[in-house]
Chain A
Amino acid sequence: MVTEAASRPPHDLPGLDPRFSRVTAVPGSGLDAGLTRDWHYLDTGDELARLGVPVAGTILAVHGNPTWSYYWRELLTQSVQAAEAEAGAGDGSGATAPAWRIIAVDQLDMGFSERTGIHRPLAQRVADLTAFTDALSLDGPVISLGHDWGGVVSLGWAVDHPEQLSGVMLLNTAVHHETGKPIPAPLRLARARGMLAASTVRTPAFLETTLALTSEPLDPTVKDAYRAPYRTAARRGGIGGFVADIPVDAQHESYNELDRIATAVAKIDLPALMLWGPRDPIFSDYYLDDLIERLPHANVHRFERAGHLVAEDVPYAESVLTWLGDNAASLANPGSASPSPREALAAASASADADDSSFVPLWRNLDERADDTTTAVIDMSTRGQRGPQQVSWRQLSDRVSQIAAGLTAIGVTKGQRVSLLVPPGPTLTAVVYACLRIGAIIVVADAGLGVKGLTRAVRGSWPDFIIGEAPGLTAARTLGWPGVRISTAKLPKVSAATLGVSYSLRDLITLGADTPLPAEPRSGDDAAILFTSGSTGPAKGVVYRHGQLSALRDVLARHFDVTADTGLVTGFAPFALLGPALGTRSVTPAMDVSSPRTLTARAVAAAVEASGGSMVFLSPASILNVVATAGDLTAHDRSELERVRTFLSTGAPIGAELLASAATIMPNATPHSPYGMTECLLVTDITLDGIRAAAGGAHTGVCVGKPIGENRIRISALDSDGAATGTPSTEPVVLGEIIVSAPHLKDHYDRLWLTDRAAARETAVDTDDVDAPTAPDVPSARWHRTGDVGHLDELGRLWVEGRLPHVIVTATGPIAPVGAEQDVEGVAAVRRAAVVGVGPHKLRQAVAVVETISPTRKPGLADPELTAAIRASTTLPLVAVLAVPQLPTDIRHNSKIDRTRLSEWAERLLAGGKPTAP
């Protein structure tokens, strides 16, 4: 390798302020003992001094391979800007809040630091960094920050300086690689004999490949800036050195050092932040999962669309500054947090345990009715050829215990994640209760997410085990989903091998025959992660603790008066699964459970007859078909349906007419239409009579009734910018974001720290709020911003008026679309309507887009008569009325119109664009 002195980067690199650039001589250590090495680094210290801003401490940022300190430019710039704003605002008005000095090094042989000509294994690099901070006489608190292999080096420094360290921040990195597991393919290729020097040093291939690992191509000038210190083969020696230093096995010279660091990291009890780009062929979710195990208290945010160079893909600097602000006190005084982050994590689960006395786990009925031979679950669905399957309480209880023991026998432990790719039915029910019983966290994704969404959900939650049927396991195999694979049915050896299936459920039962069950999980332990479709962006994993699931069961039982004799008829999975927990029979009617539209009225009647059920759950899509097939009902069917007392529409609110027509086939049932979301499955409830009573008044939107049980609702008013900034309140007729609190509210989002933060943002209620909890830390004080907008009326009923992103911010203020849509749908010729905005923010104009009863052939302006009728139907000024053959419907929300897409389409058309279909 070649030697070369340190130098300075060019002055005109995009986004890099050359004032931050420094070169300093550092007395070497280890291999460099007795030598002096010149380091190039970026430093905001002088700039903070010039601004007169006090310094809280230092963030020591270490780049990876093959980047350089340029990677951190945005953080340097933004932190100085924030300090400048703070200094400006602080003029004469008291003390200025301290800022963090950022020092971003170029590691030796990298960036513009000295080319040493010496191979530098990991232990040397960790020693180098210490030599550097010693030379700078760096004192005060230090937060380590690293990306890629810089993450390892920064953590090496971190564990070696426990007295100074006050926190750790990591972007796509790894500290541990399981022995025997192959390293990621791109690195294998780069390391192959003969390839190493060629790909990393002689040609810029490795550098170029890395620069292509962003979700959007990097700006060419930025790419060039990354190339700047690596123009010649002589200057790229360090890149090859780093790749050669990846410890592929225990014999590697850096293995022990990596192991030392990995072990010590697991003891760090300081604030930690991980920002991750999962689209990384090298540092995949596998390594994130490993790091979370070592730092379980870390704030973790996975940016679904970001890649390896996460800092180039997402606004990471804002996230870092936010996190510094959130943790300011404890970061400024290393280790001062009381309780410590790890203690706080334990306390959070324990505080949820505090009401353990009243906690009745979901599986309690299975224990108590272990000898009960009456029927617990009936599956009449059309999947099997064997006809209806009946499972008694005793059989279910036995099966749950057997599977629980089997899972334990193969090493499934409390806190591990088990992804369930099993359709609703007795098998799913047994597996769910078995996992819950042993404290394994079930990961349940709605099949409606599609393959792409499912892959995201499964990879994002990184399950340790996957239980599925052949189709699910095939997907797991071909799409490279993680986890040990378990098949529900015994597969032929060849298929099992092909699918990489390790066990069948039958194997588990055999293996677990002598395995005792572990201690029961407690109410504060995580129980489930549910993925359902979001109306914006990728699906989010919603984490529930055991206590919250039990609370859901209890609120359902209390509000709808469910007893052992009730009997549930449902094709809707979440509630079907609650049957055993509620202690009552549940039956899945004859239908294809993955397609609600296949449910007929006769199948409902047969299910009621078979189960003696008096409570029926139907999704909006299945209600349509049940109503359509009501003519086939026999007199006998009708008399069976007379025993139904309660009927629930579970899904998006449906109109009174549809609800009423479903009610005619269940003449003694009270129809209900509850409102909820994945994060809080039951928020409010309204009956058909309630809907009718609410109709015709002055309120706009969909009336979804009053909060159920102890649930509470507040409205955070929208400001003129359309942002929900209002103090949460119960004041009627104020349009704002709907905020909910409930005992069965989700605990948090999985690995989405920023989303969690936003959902719980400023949910503190008014101090004179009569319902405000006296103790802010009681579990029921958890609030959630739903992203829905609406208002409360004088009677405390909630009216939903759409989604926050669909609010139209006009020059006169924000307008929610649903009210005007209802007006427009009142026009005789209109089948469905969406009201969307066009034009710039705060100057949006409302446009109605309609599907007409006699469908139009081409999308375009509605004819003048219809336009006039629609304009007259609503008080909202409509700049245009467009008619389309079909409104685009959000695939993730069967019945919901994709207003975002529609708005973009209308914007193009009304700017004079070609009349295409929306």
Chain B
Amino acid sequence: MIVLVTGASGFLGRAVAAEAVAAGHDVRTLQRRPSGVDGVTDFLGSITDPENVATAMEGVEGVIHLAAKVSLAGDPHAFHAVNVEGTQLVLAAAEAAGVSRFVQVSSPSVAHAGSALAGVGAEPASPEHARSEYARTKAQAELLALASDSDRMRVVAIRPHLVWGPGDTQLVGRIVDRARRGRLPLLNGGTALIDTTYVDNAASGILAALHRADVAHGKAYVLTNGEPRPVADILAGICLASGVQPPRWSVPAAVGRTAGSLVERVWAVRPGVDEPPMTRFLAEQLSTAHWFDQRDIREALDWSPAVSIDEGLRRLARHER
């Protein structure tokens, strides 16, 4: 199958493109920078540019759409331009090019506000309840994608939760960096159970969604390792694998949320080069339970994660050394 992967220069995008190559597909990528993935054809350009998109889409049969503006705070217009308008463009181009399978890579934050989530399924995306610009625009994008599901083009939305692994600058990078600088507190002792996803599992799950789109289409699925862990366990595991002292200090969750909310507001006005140290959204992510029912996705995709958290941490440690 000729498969187009958008956003293949990102951490997850690279893994997905490589997985698609390994599965024997003819893989193209579309993003501004070279993907650096062996065996793919890079189309350099922006998903907000109709010409770039149309060119990359020619003759494509399957699309995996990962390109997005991913950060925890920033200019609302920039999020909308990439995440909503960009997705609209990609969807329209795919339909025009006769693409038959389309995987929208989404995020669990599109449906879930701050309250504790224990064993829930994939609720419908809800832009009005989203707690960040990222979540709001990704929610809109997912609704657009699923609305395009048809007999001609099967659309599946996959929401991987907290993807991590070797080479990850988003989550692992920040955790390790902040832990090193002593700026990573545990909220309420870090006892909240969270689901995370080892990157290889996220990639294999997304490929499974492409292959099973005929069965699984029209729906969104949360994808995780299916091994919930207390936040402190995960943070400690990642820090130890990276040779950094894990966080020891704990602040009450309410304090963390208030501080996060303040910082977020200041940052929105004076955006810096780095992300803010603590956003309200991140505070919620790290202080309340977030784990998901994995029965539906495993059955619909006929897939299960191959790499356990413990094995993932071993691989992370090998990579860091």
A-side interface residues toward B, CB under 8 Å?
A: 811, 838-840, 843, 845, 860-861, 864, 867, 877, 879-880, 882, 907, 909-915
Contact = CB atoms under 8 A, between A and B. Distances in A.
B198 interface: no
B228 A915 contact: no
Nearest to B253: A912
Contacts of B236: 864
B119 A839 contact: yes
Nearest to B120: A840
B233 to A, nearest CB: 7
B72 to A, nearest CB: 19
Interface stretch (B54-62, B87-95, B182-190, B267-275): B182-190
Given A877-B227, A912-B253, A912-B289, A839 B188 contact: no
Contacts of B181: none
Nearest to A844: B119
B119 A861 contact: no
Contacts of B287: 912
B193 interface: yes
B293 A861 contact: no
Given A811-B295, A864-B240, A880-B233, A838 B192 contact: no
A720 to B, nearest CB: 11
B189 A911 contact: no
12 contacts: A838-B193, A840-B293, A845-B193, A861-B230, A867-B233, A879-B193, A880-B228, A880-B230, A907-B118, A911-B192, A912-B253, A912-B287
Given A860-B189, A910-B192, 20 more contacts: A811-B293, A838-B193, A839-B118, A840-B118, A843-B293, A845-B119, A861-B232, A879-B228, A879-B230, A880-B193, A880-B233, A907-B118, A911-B116, A911-B192, A911-B289, A912-B289, A914-B188, A914-B252, A915-B188, A915-B191
B25 interface: no
B100 interface: no
B294 interface: yes
A845 B293 CA distance: 11
Q: Which of B120, B189, B192 has the most CB of A within 10 A?
A: B189
Contacts of B118: 838-840, 907, 910-911
B233 A861 contact: yes
A879 B116 contact: no
A811 B293 CA distance: 9
B229 A879 contact: yes
A907 B119 CA distance: 12
B191 A912 contact: yes
B291 interface: yes
Q: Which of A838, A867, A913 has the most CB of B within 10 A?
A: A913
A877 B308 CA distance: 11
B307 to A, nearest CB: 15
Nearest 10 pairs between A and B by C-beta?
A912-B192, A911-B116, A912-B288, A843-B119, A839-B119, A911-B289, A840-B119, A910-B193, A879-B228, A839-B118
A911 B227 contact: no
Contact of B191 (A839, A845, A861, A864): A861
A276 to B, nearest CB: 38
B154 to A, nearest CB: 27
A907 B237 CA distance: 22
Contacts of B192: 910-912
A913 to B, nearest CB: 7
Nearest to B228: A879
Nearest to B232: A861
Given A811-B295, A840-B119, A915 B289 contact: no
A879 B289 contact: no
A320 B166 CA distance: 63
Contacts of A914: 188, 252
A860 B191 CA distance: 7
Nearest to B240: A864
B295 A912 contact: no
A845 B191 CA distance: 15
A911 B294 contact: no
Contacts of A912: 116, 187-188, 191-192, 253, 287-289
A910 B289 contact: yes
Contact of B193 (A840, A843, A860, A911): A911
B228 A845 contact: yes
A240 to B, nearest CB: 51
A877 B293 CA distance: 16
A722 to B, nearest CB: 15
Nearest to A860: B189
Given A811-B294, A811-B295, A864-B240, A909 B191 contact: yes
A838 B230 CA distance: 12
A864 B229 CA distance: 12
B294 A915 contact: no
Contacts of B246: 864
A879 B227 contact: yes
A882 B229 CA distance: 12
Contacts of A845: 119, 193, 228, 291
Contacts of B230: 861, 879-880, 910
Contacts of B291: 839, 845
Nearest to B191: A909
A384 B210 CA distance: 83
B194 to A, nearest CB: 9
B188 A913 contact: yes
A864 B187 CA distance: 17
Contacts of A879: 193, 227-230
A520 to B, nearest CB: 61
B191 A910 contact: yes
A651 B244 CA distance: 51
Nearest to B292: A843
B193 A861 contact: no
Interface in B103-135: 116, 118-120
A234 B190 CA distance: 64
B228 to A, nearest CB: 5
B179 to A, nearest CB: 14
Nearest to A913: B188
A380 B191 CA distance: 53
A912 B191 CA distance: 6
Contacts of A877: 227
A912 B246 CA distance: 19
A861 B295 contact: no
B174 to A, nearest CB: 20
A867 B240 CA distance: 14
Contacts of A840: 118-120, 293
A915 B118 CA distance: 18
Interface in B280-297: 287-289, 291, 293-295
A812 B274 CA distance: 43
A860 B187 CA distance: 12
B12 to A, nearest CB: 24
A910 B116 CA distance: 9
A911 B231 CA distance: 11
Interface in B210-261: 227-230, 232-233, 236-237, 240, 246, 252-253
A840 B120 CA distance: 8
A843 B295 CA distance: 9
Interface in B21-78: none
Nearest to A847: B193
Nearest to B187: A912
Nearest to A840: B119
A880 B253 contact: no
B266 to A, nearest CB: 25
Contacts of B193: 838, 845, 879-880, 910-911
A915 B191 CA distance: 8
A909 B231 CA distance: 12
A475 to B, nearest CB: 43
A727 to B, nearest CB: 27
Contacts of B295: 811, 843
A875 to B, nearest CB: 13
Nearest to B308: A877
A740 B288 CA distance: 45
Contacts of A861: 189-191, 230, 232-233
